[in-house]
Amino acid sequence: MNRLLPIKLATALAVASLCACQSLPMAFGQTSAPAAATPSNASPNVEIPIASLPLVEKRESLTATGYAVISVQNHRIPAQQRLLAIRAAKLDAYRSLTEQVYGLRMDATATVADMVVQNDTFRSRVEGVIYGATLVSITPSGDDTYETTLSLDKSTVQDLRMLYLGQLVAKNK
């Protein structure tokens, strides 16, 4: 069953990528995509609701914000702590972008005994390649935190997803 998961994921991402490649002009007040955006196996009069279109199609770019605390950085010189916090905030923003582009893998377990939850744990994992992100801002947030915002253009997101799908196909051969 686990062997089929990458194939299902690749299929879902391929469909989402192909749908997002078409730019759909929307008139003011329109609640669904034009009939030209229907899948090939659907009848020409069936319209796809906007809610079913990929999220990337609705936005011009993805943005992500990362945070890091200055005082917990492992250095005794305050200036170096600030630089390390900026770096950590930037990496946190990249992680957030990666989650938006590729999704997040969640593993969860729960132990129940006598109808009472004894143990409930979960782990998350994100993996992917991000390139072409633009640094929007690095700003102090409060006295002890830095905030970093990154932006990723919609066309770059599509390139990244197609690269990922190509790697999945090559890995499964």
Domains held by the chain: number: 2
Chain centroid to Cα 55, Å, comes to 10
CA–CA separation, 158 and 131 (whole Å)? 12
Q: Which of 58, 79, 99 is the last residue of a domain?
A: 58
Q: Which of 18, 42, 58 is the last residue of a domain?
A: 58
- Residue 20 confidence (pLDDT): 41
User: Does some domain include residue 163?
Assistant: no
Q: Are residues 33 and 79 in the same domain?
A: no
Residue-wise pLDDT tens digits, 80-105: 999 999 999 999 999 999 999 999 99
User: Which residue stretches of the chain are H helix?
Assistant: 4-21, 55-58, 78-102, 154-172
Q: Are residues 64 and 143 in the same domain?
A: yes
CA–CA separation, 169 and 173 (whole Å)? 7
- Residue 126 confidence (pLDDT): 92
Q: Are residues 135 and 108 in the same domain?
A: yes
Mean pLDDT of all residues in 148-164: 91
User: Does some domain include residue 142?
Assistant: yes
Q: Is the dihedral of CA 123, 5, 102, 86 positive or negative?
A: positive
Q: Are residues 101 and 67 in the same domain?
A: yes
User: Does some domain include residue 165?
Assistant: no
- Residue 123 confidence (pLDDT): 93
pTM (predicted TM-score): 0.61
- Residue 119 confidence (pLDDT): 93
User: Does some domain include residue 76?
Assistant: yes
- Residue 4 confidence (pLDDT): 52
The residue that leads in pLDDT, 66 or 8, is 66
Q: Residue 23 belongs to what domain range?
A: 1-58
Mean pLDDT of the chain: 77
Confidence of residue 3 (pLDDT cuts 50, 70, 90): low
Q: Are residues 65 and 140 in the same domain?
A: yes
Q: Which of 14, 35, 58 is the last residue of a domain?
A: 58
User: How much of the chain exceeds pLDDT 90, in percent?
Assistant: 51
Q: Are residues 18 and 69 in the same domain?
A: no
